[in-house]
Amino acid sequence: MPYNSTPYNYCPVCGQTLQETVIDNYLRKTCPVCSFVHWGDYSLGVGGVLWHEGKVLLVQRRHNPGKGMWTIPGGYVNQDEPIGDAVKREIFEETGIRTKPLSLIALHDRPSEKHDAYIIFLMDYLGGTLQGQDEEVSNLGFFTLEECQNLALPSVTLQALKASHSATPGLTLNSKAELLSPLSAIYQIF
């Protein structure tokens, strides 16, 4: 799906007319007054693979992208939201199920006019009542791998399911790391 962005003509910080400057071999919009640089258009999303009693939680998308496809639950990360909190929130909003991240198991990177990155977590089941969010989900449920073979699954979901069965634990949150910002987090191999 093409991304139509409106180009920056004025600085969003000070309102000055932007100029084009080559930085690191890329033509970028910059402000000659306050040094603002428009680095590009990006989106950050998260999704979670949740296995419970031998079945994986999937949702059927109500809207594009992927209308009618069965995917792992997930969505966009808010500007001031840690990614671990975002994946818990998205899964709860879409399914009514409470979870917690166990590890980061995959990263889907899609550079284009808008650079999309989608971080996939392996999740732990905490509880809740299965209930779909009407605005985004047309159907949902827990499915065995065999049942998944009869569903319309995008390749990213298939790869996430494979990654969730890897012998490697993935990256886990290092909650003891001393970082500069209280909102900062580092996921690493232990």
**What digits encode the pLDDT tens for the residues 2-51?**
555 677 899 999 999 999 999 999 999 999 999 999 998 899 999 999 99
Topology of domain 42-167, CATH = Nucleoside Triphosphate Pyrophosphohydrolase (3.90.79)
The pLDDT assigned to 178 comes to: 87
pTM: 0.85
Is the pLDDT score of 70 beyond 80?
Answer: yes
pLDDT at residue number 113: 82
Domain ranges, ordered by start, for the chain: 1-40, 42-167
**Across 157-182, average pLDDT:** 88
**pLDDT of the residue at 34:** 95
User: Residues 185, 126, 77, 174: what is their CA dihedral angle, to the nearest 10 degrees?
Assistant: 10
E strands along the chain, which residues?
Answer: 19-23, 26-30, 37-38, 42-52, 55-61, 70-71, 74-76, 97-110, 115-128, 137-143, 172-173, 187-188
pLDDT for 118 equals 95
- The amino acid at residue 11 is C
pLDDT exceeding 70 applies to what percent of the chain? Answer: 97
Q: Give the confidence band of 86 by pLDDT, cuts at 50, 70, 90.
A: very high
- Calculate the alpha carbon distances from 138 to 4, 61, 68, 151 in Å: 27, 6, 8, 14
Q: For residue 1, name the pLDDT band (cuts at 50, 70, 90).
A: very low
